[in-house]
Structure 1
Amino acid sequence: AQGARVPISKSLARSLNRPLRIAQDLLAYDFYTERLYDKTVVATVSGLARFSSWFDQYVVDGLVNGVGLASLFGGESLKYSASGQSQLYLLTIFAGVGLLGIFMTWTLW
């Protein structure tokens, strides 16, 4: 069995009949599934990733930095208003915990 390899140009390999040429292109390019996948799934996931990155960078980090800044300013303001009397601090803590306990168990009475 002998054979020969004969190169054929692309213009000769394509059908001259337009409907057959369209079907041939669809089959040759796997119904353009790669392009369709890129335009739908990849574009959607990429957009969601960009939005998620922006949200994390500006909203979440902004809230965390805001809470940190508020606690820093709160600590600085308390530094100047603190009297140094530990009995008063303990009384305030116990009163707060007691009121919180009463408030949380109020419906159980």
Structure 2
Amino acid sequence: MTCFGIFTAFLLYKPFYLSLQILNLLNSFVKRGPNRILLDKMIYLIYDWSYNRGYIDMFYSISLTKGIRGLIELTHFFDRQVIDGITNGVGITVFLGESVKYLGEVASRFIYYCIYFMY
């Protein structure tokens, strides 16, 4: 695996003037033609893939980060709107019930005293 990485780096970053030119081995790689264009495209794809680290960061960002963020927003909405809404609704109902009960007692006493003092 290491040798493959070193060979790939050598192909991508090799200088054109090497000691191998003396042996006339590099000239076959430097020549242009349909095979060289295909080789350039393959080298560019390998370089682009390795430069972007195999697109692992993009996959991580899309699948994990955005997926978890969406789940958190859904949970937050459910907690704020549904759970807190039920709790606050029960609290307001109890408060209003106690207020009406207290006002009912005051009103009944007031009516009782008014009737008592009138007769």
TM bracket (short chain): 0.5 to 0.7
Give the partner amino acid of 1:35.
M
Give unmatched runs, 5+ long, in structure 1. 1-11, 84-109
Q: Partners of 1:57 and 1:70 in 2: how far apart?
A: 19
Aligned twin of 2:64: 41
**Per-residue CA distance 1:12-62 (angstroms, 9 max, x = gap):** 95x961122111211121101111111111110110111112112211111
Aligned-residue offset at 1:77: 3.0
Task: Indicate yes or no: 2:59 matched with 1:30.
Answer: no
Between structure 1 and structure 2, the one with the greater Rg is 2
Question: What is the aligned length?
Answer: 72
TM superposition score normalised by structure 2: 0.51
Aligned-residue offset at 1:81: 5.3
Q: Partners of 1:76 and 1:28 in 2: how far apart?
A: 69
Higher RCO (Cα < 8 Å, 6 or more apart): 2
Name the SS for the 1:60 alignment partner: helix
What pairs with 1:1-109 in structure 2 (closer than 5 Å)? 17-79=40-102, 80=104
Moved over 6 A (4+): none
TM superposition score normalised by structure 1: 0.55
Instruction: Compute the RMSD of aligned alpha carbons.
Output: 2.8
